[in-house]
Every structure is written in structure tokens, then in C-alpha cells.
Amino acid sequence: MMQIYKTNFPTEQQGKDYLLNLGVIVEVEGEIVFAKNTAAVVYIGKVVEVPATYDADGNILTPAVYYDGYAIDVMSSSDLDFGTYEVYPGDDAAHSFYGWAKSAEVPPS
């Protein structure tokens, strides 16, 4: 059964390294591909906490404020342990998978 994991790593590289170590993605002849049980890995990146504001001409007044870290969503049929990197945004999620509820994610244990 497919499960959706939502994660947030300090950096993009740390996230990719973690996924490699966990076997979510694997390296085949120099190419990074999904492992057999992995359906999707989505590198979301920065998530907006407070949107930017603009004037009537579209010029930025106050820049957007982003959450710390780099977000990655994973869909896999494996039981995965992302430790403290796993997050649970529920209905506040910034990303979802087509055909799945916005809040579809492995619940906190």
C-alpha cells in the first residue's frame, strides 16, 4: 500500500543524501532513479509562510517569508523512517499528489 511521507530537511543536499541512504532513490550507472517501492519523490523546496505583498503595478512591497528548510514529499510502499525530518502539515500542505487528499500523509506515530 502506498504511503505519503512529507519531510523537511535543512538543505536540499541533506535531503537527497537521506533519501539515498534510506533507499528511496538509488544510483544506477551514475543515474539516480526511484527504488522499486518508490512511486514518487517531489522536491518541493521552499514553502511560503507569509506571501509577498505588491503594489498596484505589481512591484513587491514586502517579500515572502519562507519556512526554514527544504521540503520533499515521498510516495512509497515501504515503511520509511524519516525521524525528525518528517512533518505533518495536514490540510495546510503546500503540495499534494493528484487523486489523493491534500492531507493524505503518514500520521505521526
Where does this chain bind another protein (CB under 8 A)? 2, 26, 28-29, 31, 33-36, 39-40, 42, 44-46, 48, 51-52, 54, 56-58, 64, 73, 75, 93-102
Q: Cβ of residue 86: shortest distance to another protein, in angstroms?
A: 18
Q: How far is CA 108 from CA 2, 33, 61, 66, 74, in A?
A: 16, 28, 38, 23, 15
Q: What is the dihedral of CA 94, 95, 100, 102, to 10 degrees?
A: 0
Q: Cβ of residue 70: shortest distance to another protein, in angstroms?
A: 12
Nearer to another protein, 42 or 106 (CB): 42
